[in-house]
Structure 1
Amino acid sequence: MKPHDVNSTVHEPSWQIFLIFLRLGLTSFGGPVAHLGYFREEFVIRRRWLSEKRYADLVALCQFLPGPASSQVGMALGLTRGGYPGVFAAWCGFTLPSALLLIAFALGLSEWGEALPDGLLDGLKIAAVAVVAQAVWSMGGNLCPDAQRVSIMVVAACLVLLVNTPLSQVGVIITAAIIGTLLFKPAMDAPHEALPFTLSRRAGAFWLALFALLLLGLPVLAGVFESQGLALVDAFYRSGSLVFGGGHVVLPLLQAEVVPTGWVDRETFLAGYGAAQAVPGPLFTFAGFLGAAMNPAPSGWAGGMIALLAIFLPSFLLIAGALPFWEALRSQPRIQSALMGINAAVVGLLLAALYDPVWTSAIHGPADFALALLALTALSSWKLPAWLVVLGCGGIGIML
């Protein structure tokens, strides 16, 4: 793309954008909702890069698209202030701290897993039960407020539990979108301020075409060449392309990709997911852990970075592709109705993942259930940060 394909009112040096997002990447605990709060404080209140209305509209766009909303907001803000180099600077600053920690944790498990204290991994898996349960409860209350959407959620969970494959999950999401257009009539939004930058429609069409080409072409290439590296890229790119509803929803998609294939065993998968709750930054960096923990090559640092880039690439392609068309699309009632159905279905996907693999692999007796209940209470009622609850579960697991 040519530089004039991105128009912005103000440009910041890429190194400065990187440092701003690096500080956020080192300190942003609490999940995507908390990340959006940190971004608002930094870029709306403190730096005044954009107004409240414009920020709300940007968040709405990123929630509409599949992928990690907070990371996409960060990419869009980087694009606003620094063009395409700004996107890369913002992503690196916000993502790499947690990604490097999780890749190092995966390598530590493979090298010194037997030397870890007894009960530590069990405690991390139990913490994952509490974190996912809280996400299901919170998202269910917000995204399934009526009987119709509760029904979509329950049916989606049942279907995925009975036929748990990546294709079945995609089918559930598509079916929920169709049902949403038939059932729901969203209220129209009030007038809004246009976003403070634009991309040309030519650039947007290019990025969207590349997104679709990779989504359809990577499975073909992986099958023709029988390359483990291509299979890894395909699995994580597809997972990053189909996640609606926040970072926790990537759990069932990744589980269906890496556990049945034998790339990562269940115990390691859940231990990594628990560890991901104890680090700042986006939950999608869990992909770095999985890539590093792979049984066949590529694994280690190479596998971790490949998986990390593959799962975040759709987010960039979609945000860059959708921005030129957002002003026209956001007012379409059918788009909003489809999104209401999709959101209800993804709560169902997460509910299914709460049972299998999270619950079935972590809860084996009364003591496990008691610790999970305590952790859930600490998260939901005592409002303790997730990283502190994870560390506490790990410590209690060692003692038990």
Structure 2
Amino acid sequence: MKKLRNYIFLKDILLLALTAFGGPQAHIAMCLDILVVKRGYITEAELIELNALCQILPGPTSTQTLMAVGYKRGGTFLAFWTLLVWILPATIFMTAAAIGLAYIQKQEISLNFTRFIQPMAIGFVSFAALRISRKVVKTKTAFVLMILAGIVSYFYRTPWVFPLILIAGGLVTAIKFDKEEKEEKQKFDIQWRFLILYGSVFIGVALLANLTKGVLLLIFENFYRNGSLIFGGGQVLIPVLFTEFVTFKEFLTADEFLSGYALVQAVPGPVFSFAAFVGALTMYKRLSWLQTSFLAGSGYFEVFFSGTFGGALGGILGGILGGFTASIAVFLPGMFLIFFVIRFWEQLKKYRPIKASLEGVNGASAGLVIAGAFLLLEPIEKSPLNIGIMLVTFLILQFTKVPAPFLILIGLLIGFIF
């Protein structure tokens, strides 16, 4: 009977994975409809509370919320399967999209058909910035933090600036904890194994990646670090990845990045699945040569290919490895942290500094998304056509209910025609 209940629950998660478009806010609305109203797995108050917990934690908000629901239903085992079922469809699609895009480029076929969806991506980010700021910026302090975070992250484009901004934002508002309502506290019952595992992977992979310089290990380290330090969901991840993989390390071009970001708008499931696109495209480029290496730079497990087919095969294998490595790495910290915190959440949520810090973290997160819109705008040609596409996309999202996937398909179709 228990297995049957778990099977039905995972079937509902798969339905969400295949139909939930629009990012964390839209995901939670669908979760309310399917998991609360239709199935009654948990109450509406419990779902909203779990979602609030996951906004405090770094990582993919909607993914962690679903894992928390899975944990309440069937413990760690069901929560783990919830994660796999939720992320797999989007991960497979975005990995395939990256490999397809790279193969097209290798055949010297122009990416000009994506020229309309690239400025559309700016419209999506701008709309996300407006929606997030309206939702979470409700005080003067949060507004000031949003502006400061946007300015600092725009002018100081190094990967470690982003988590420092978020931490600083949380500390600024945590000191106002005395304004929060007091609640009766209970003794903490903390089990440390998942936090120890989280920290061990963080430190161990960072050391190993820097020693070997293997691209797969570096990709894992990059995404594990970003998955550990990003608050506010997938929209906040975008400017961080752009800074690290386009501006800082130049693994991807701005056109490739924007094309991938536009495509992820047409994919249901977690926005963090964009990591699969970045990882797959990065590895495809590095394993499409005649001589390749399993660790792509470490010098170990070298494999020799010959001819065009061999290079393409190396690129495809590399893309698959890169896509799934990036996906595992970016979602793993969120899994460790939710498994660690969910056990004593009932006690933790009663501490006023924790609740107060959320105001600053959310304000800073909104600032990062605003800065991200300007960062992504820089490589785009400022022609009247591109500016018009950005504005039209933004206005359609703001004032209509036209689904994002439909907009992307229209943009690609127009690009193919013209």
Could you tell me which of 64, 82, 88 is aligned with 1:72?
64
Superposition pairs for residues 172-321 of structure 1, below 5 Å? 172-183=165-176, 187-188=180-181, 201-202=190-191, 205-259=192-246, 260-294=248-282, 295-297=285-287, 299-321=318-340
Provide closer, same or farther for how the CA distance between residues 127 and 348 of structure 1 changes in structure 2, counting only shifts above 3 A. same
What CA distance in whole angstroms lies between the structure 2 residues aligned with 1:56 and 1:160? 30
For each residue in 1:281-330, what CA deviation from the matched residue of structure 2 results, as whole angstroms up to 9, or x when unmatched? 11011111111101335631111011000000011101100012211211
Superposition pairs for residues 1-400 of structure 1, below 5 Å? 14-113=6-105, 119-183=112-176, 187-188=180-181, 201-202=190-191, 205-259=192-246, 260-294=248-282, 295-297=285-287, 299-356=318-375, 358-398=376-416
For each residue in 1:243-272, what CA deviation from the matched residue of structure 2 results, as whole angstroms up to 9, or x when unmatched? 111210011222222222122222111110
Provide closer, same or farther for how the CA distance between residues 74 and 186 of structure 1 changes in structure 2, counting only shifts above 3 A. farther
* Structure 1 alignment gaps of length 5 or more: 1-9
1:6 alignment partner in structure 2: none
Provide closer, same or farther for how the CA distance between residues 77 and 115 of structure 1 changes in structure 2, counting only shifts above 3 A. farther
Provide closer, same or farther for how the CA distance between residues 47 and 116 of structure 1 changes in structure 2, counting only shifts above 3 A. farther
- Count of residues paired in the alignment: 383
1:7 alignment partner in structure 2: none
C-alpha displacement at 1:84, in angstroms? Answer: 2.8
Provide closer, same or farther for how the CA distance between residues 40 and 116 of structure 1 changes in structure 2, counting only shifts above 3 A. farther
What CA distance in whole angstroms lies between the structure 1 residues aligned with 2:388 and 2:182? 45
My pick for the range that moved more, 140-149 or 311-320, is 140-149
What CA distance in whole angstroms lies between the structure 2 residues aligned with 1:214 and 1:393? 41
The amino acid of 1:353's aligned partner reads: G
What CA distance in whole angstroms lies between the structure 1 residues aligned with 2:146 and 2:177? 15
The amino acid of 2:386's aligned partner reads: D
The amino acid of 2:146's aligned partner reads: M
For each residue in 1:134-158, what CA deviation from the matched residue of structure 2 results, as whole angstroms up to 9, or x when unmatched? 1111111222223222111111111
* Structure 2 alignment gaps of length 5 or more: 288-295, 297-317
The amino acid of 2:321's aligned partner reads: A
C-alpha displacement at 1:189, in angstroms? Answer: 8.7
Provide closer, same or farther for how the CA distance between residues 396 and 186 of structure 1 changes in structure 2, counting only shifts above 3 A. farther
The 8 Å contact of residues 292 and 300 in structure 1, kept in 2 or not, is answered as yes
My pick for the range that moved more, 315-324 or 119-128, is 119-128
The amino acid of 1:279's aligned partner reads: V
Provide closer, same or farther for how the CA distance between residues 136 and 184 of structure 1 changes in structure 2, counting only shifts above 3 A. farther
For each residue in 1:171-195, what CA deviation from the matched residue of structure 2 results, as whole angstroms up to 9, or x when unmatched? 212221221123565543999xx9x
Provide closer, same or farther for how the CA distance between residues 154 and 224 of structure 1 changes in structure 2, counting only shifts above 3 A. same
Q: Percent identity?
A: 30
The amino acid of 1:31's aligned partner reads: G
For each residue in 1:12-57, what CA deviation from the matched residue of structure 2 results, as whole angstroms up to 9, or x when unmatched? 5654443221121111112211111111111111111111222222
TM-score (norm 1): 0.89
What CA distance in whole angstroms lies between the structure 1 residues aligned with 2:336 and 2:189? 14
What CA distance in whole angstroms lies between the structure 1 residues aligned with 2:65 and 2:367? 25
The 8 Å contact of residues 66 and 242 in structure 1, kept in 2 or not, is answered as yes
Provide closer, same or farther for how the CA distance between residues 283 and 11 of structure 1 changes in structure 2, counting only shifts above 3 A. same
What CA distance in whole angstroms lies between the structure 2 residues aligned with 1:137 and 1:110? 32
What CA distance in whole angstroms lies between the structure 1 residues aligned with 2:40 and 2:25? 20
C-alpha displacement at 1:392, in angstroms? Answer: 2.3
C-alpha displacement at 1:399, in angstroms? Answer: 5.1
My pick for the range that moved more, 270-279 or 295-304, is 295-304
2:311 alignment partner in structure 1: none
The 8 Å contact of residues 123 and 395 in structure 1, kept in 2 or not, is answered as no
SS of the residue corresponding to residue 66 of structure 2 reads helix
The 8 Å contact of residues 182 and 352 in structure 2, kept in 1 or not, is answered as no
Provide closer, same or farther for how the CA distance between residues 12 and 277 of structure 1 changes in structure 2, counting only shifts above 3 A. same
What CA distance in whole angstroms lies between the structure 2 residues aligned with 1:122 and 1:189? 54
C-alpha displacement at 1:383, in angstroms? Answer: 2.2
SS of the residue corresponding to residue 289 of structure 1 reads helix
What CA distance in whole angstroms lies between the structure 2 residues aligned with 1:363 and 1:214? 41
What CA distance in whole angstroms lies between the structure 2 residues aligned with 1:11 and 1:80? 15
What CA distance in whole angstroms lies between the structure 2 residues aligned with 1:184 and 1:274? 40
What CA distance in whole angstroms lies between the structure 2 residues aligned with 1:143 and 1:84? 31
C-alpha displacement at 1:352, in angstroms? Answer: 1.1
